[in-house]
Amino acid sequence: MYEILNHTADLAIKVQSNTVKGLFYKCAIALTDLLFGSQYLFRHTPYALRIMPLFSIQQKAGKITLQITANNKEDLLVEFLGELLFHSICKYRYFFDFKWKKFTEQEIIVDCLFHNLKAIDLKMDIKAVTYHNIKIKKDNNNFSVIITFDL
Amino acid sequence: MRYKEYEIKRISDAIWEIPRSKEMRVPVRFYALEKMIAQIISDDALQQSINVAYLPGIQKYSLAMPDIHYGYGFPIGGVAAMDVDNGVISPGGVGYDINCGVRFCRTNLFYDDIKDKIKDIVLGFYQNVPSGVGSHGAIKKLSQKQEDEVMIKGARWAIENGYGNDSDLDATENYGEMKEANPDKVSHRAKDRGLNQVGTLGSGNHFLEIGIVDKVYNEELADYFKLRNNSVIVIVHSGSRGFGYQICDDYLKIMVRKQNEYDFTIPDRQLACAPIHTQIGKDYFLAMCCAANYAWANRQVLMNLAQRSLCKTLSISHNSLGFKLIYDVSHNIAKFEKHNVNGKDKMLCLHRKGATRSFGPGREELAPEFQKIGQPVIVPGDMGTHSYLMIGTDFAMNETFGSCCHGAGRVKSRKQAIREYNFGSIKSELDKQGIIVFAAQKRTLVEENPEVYKNVSDVVQAVHISGIAKKIVRTRPLGVLKG
């Protein structure tokens, strides 16, 4: 799903996918995994992840709709992940699936599905998603990006 | 000596320079022992210092302290002074944890008084001082009105609410309060994040430590601070928590969007900045001051919680404990300060990211008790080695705009730490050294183990011999609460 790279002070990950939309999806799931771990994720196909039937937290899944615009796809990705980070860290929302309503290089509208967890479920404190040297690269029909998180 | 295509010139024993070239507006100047250079070069943080040298309005040098390491945008350990008329202000030059800083406190106790109670003391800290990911305040969730007061009053808010004494303010950088703070410039989202985090240590490299003085370098100044060999001391390291992160994030986003409107380019979007005189530049500074004040209130509360916890664990009175703040320094901040540039006093916007103010004697910003001696500088090491109390110098005023290092500086990533070390061996090594560590998470202990940091004594020696701060005492940890 993603690879953790060496970064002296903070945390950098590399994510790859065969579409830009898939890249955004995988980056979002990677963020959830870093923050809460994957113990609540049961099985996954390239585009869908399911919540374990024995999910220990019994609340119904919630949904928020995000509409984000930016100058380019890299900034769009940083702002999308930044929004998810805020809801994850401050409201303990465990995002597990995303339904795209609009996806362009400068705007996304997306339904983000989540379960409510608790502060104690957080495994890591990520302060922010940075713009540091971010570039979505295309190589032989494969898209990749390196994202640096401030810890 | 070379770094990539750049020449490195030796200026003195521990001062080095990369001359101006390409689009650099000023040279890079960095401070290190010769044996540290190979590691600094391998980390690529100097490229980040070179990138900072591209920024408009930068004065004299893009500076890097001996604890420099690779960050994002600015390096950690970077200092840049910008001309207020044609320079820029950059949230990335301050960092997300606005006014992350350290405070150093003395007590009347000596090692023999606590040597059999260290585990109890650290357990007391663990029980009384909220730490770790998602931790909430030891104080009741604030109302919005109270949070606005924290943003305006800083450490003074904590004292007015029973956490400490007025004398603590004299021993806090800026008296624990930036007067320019304006809560109207802070987003609702940031305010939400800050409501329940005053009085929390946080996670990562933040810590609360009890230790002892184990070496005195300057008897006169050690006496001045009533520190002797085996004196028990307490160090607190924390910042503005989610409140500060959100302010940085909010303003970076705006500046990234506006970057195309300015007549200069930046080599990394994380260096996004705005001219100081623009509305967005001014707004960021006013919001940043709110986060700085929040951090000072936070450390003031944390220190007081630690003090109360010590009294309770040791069953002694506050008078017997004799707890006193020696100084509180900020190491992620932007400030307007007057400095001499080419023989003239000039108002500059100082960015210190992972760097500590190191003012020499006579600066009007210092409280009367520090006017003659200069400002105390705190350089914490990691949980297995030493920390240092130093003093700012006149030389630093001319050389580094009154700045020096902020800690040991990482050399290994968290990924490397997890791959190379395990909890059991680190714990047993610390046990062997007689250091009790409580961490909210085992992972933190592995990621923050002593081997992932530079040798703090080398960092401090580079500072000492270059003259940008001078050693007073060295301390060693006995017990540490990690976030």
B179 part of contact set with chain A, CB < 8 Å? no
Closest-approach residue (CA) in chain A for B257: A71
Q: Do B245 and A10 touch (CB under 8 A)?
A: no
Map residue B185 onto helix, strand or coil. helix
Gap between the Cα atoms of B13 and B181, Å rounded: 41
**What is chain B's mean pLDDT, rounded?**
94
Gap between the Cα atoms of B198 and A128, Å rounded: 19
B45 part of contact set with chain A, CB < 8 Å? yes
Map residue B95 onto helix, strand or coil. coil
- Cβ contacts (< 8 Å) between A127 and chain B: which residues? 96-97, 242, 245
Gap between the Cα atoms of B367 and B73, Å rounded: 34
pLDDT tens, residue by residue, A119-130 = 888 888 899 999
- Tokens representing residue B83 in the block: 């001309």
- Cβ contacts (< 8 Å) between B193 and chain A: which residues? 86, 90
Residue B242, CA atoms < 13 Å, CB-side half-sphere: 29
For range A101-125, the mean pLDDT:
92
The class of domain B2-482 in CATH terms is alpha beta
Asked if residues A90 and B193 have their Cβ atoms less than 8 Å apart, the reply is yes
- Tokens representing residue A93 in the block: 């929302």
Burial (CB < 10 A; 0-12, 13-18, 19+), residue B59, is: buried
Asked if residues B208 and B480 have their Cβ atoms less than 8 Å apart, the reply is yes
- Cβ contacts (< 8 Å) between A90 and chain B: which residues? 192-193, 242
Strands A62-69 and A107-116: what pairing?
A: antiparallel
Q: Do A134 and B269 touch (CB under 8 A)?
A: yes
Q: Do A5 and B257 touch (CB under 8 A)?
A: no
Closest-approach residue (CA) in chain B for A68: B253
Above 70 in pLDDT, residue A45?
A: no
B188 a catalytic residue: no
Closest-approach residue (CA) in chain A for B260: A71
The pLDDT of residue A46 is: 40
- Cβ contacts (< 8 Å) between A149 and chain B: which residues? none
Sign of CA dihedral B211, B212, B216, B221: positive
Gap between the Cα atoms of A129 and A89, Å rounded: 12
Map residue B18 onto helix, strand or coil. strand
Gap between the Cα atoms of B373 and B103, Å rounded: 18
Closest-approach residue (CA) in chain B for A35: B133
B77 part of contact set with chain A, CB < 8 Å? no
Map residue B46 onto helix, strand or coil. helix
Burial (CB < 10 A; 0-12, 13-18, 19+), residue B431, is: exposed
A100 part of contact set with chain B, CB < 8 Å? no
Above 60 in pLDDT, residue A48?
A: no
**What is chain A's mean pLDDT, rounded?**
86
Q: Do A4 and B252 touch (CB under 8 A)?
A: no
Of A8, A132, A134, the CB nearest to B69: A8
The pLDDT of residue A41 is: 58
- C-alpha B77 chain-centroid distance: 10
Map out the domains of chain A as residue ranges. Answer: 3-150
B192 part of contact set with chain A, CB < 8 Å? yes
Q: What does R_g of chain B's alpha carbons equal in angstroms?
A: 21
Q: Do A82 and B415 touch (CB under 8 A)?
A: no
Q: Do A6 and B257 touch (CB under 8 A)?
A: no
Strands B231-238 and B101-110: what pairing?
A: antiparallel
pLDDT tens, residue by residue, B202-224 = 888 899 999 999 999 999 999 99
Asked if residues B475 and B387 have their Cβ atoms less than 8 Å apart, the reply is yes
Strands B88-89 and B74-83: what pairing?
A: unpaired
Q: List per-residue pLDDT tens for chain B, 483 residues long.
A: 999 999 999 999 999 999 999 899 999 999 999 999 999 999 889 999 999 999 999 999 999 999 999 988 899 999 999 999 999 999 999 999 999 999 999 999 999 999 999 999 999 999 999 887 767 667 888 999 999 999 999 999 999 999 999 999 999 999 999 999 999 999 999 999 998 899 999 888 899 999 999 999 999 999 999 999 999 999 999 999 999 999 999 999 999 999 989 999 999 889 999 999 999 999 999 999 999 999 999 999 999 999 999 999 999 999 999 999 999 999 999 999 999 999 999 999 999 999 999 999 999 999 999 999 999 999 999 888 899 999 999 999 999 999 999 999 888 888 888 888 888 888 888 888 999 999 877 788 888 888 888 899 999 999 999 999 999 999 999 999 988
Asked if residues A98 and A28 have their Cβ atoms less than 8 Å apart, the reply is yes
Protein fold of A3-150: Archease, Possible Chaperone; Chain: A; domain 1 (3.55.10)
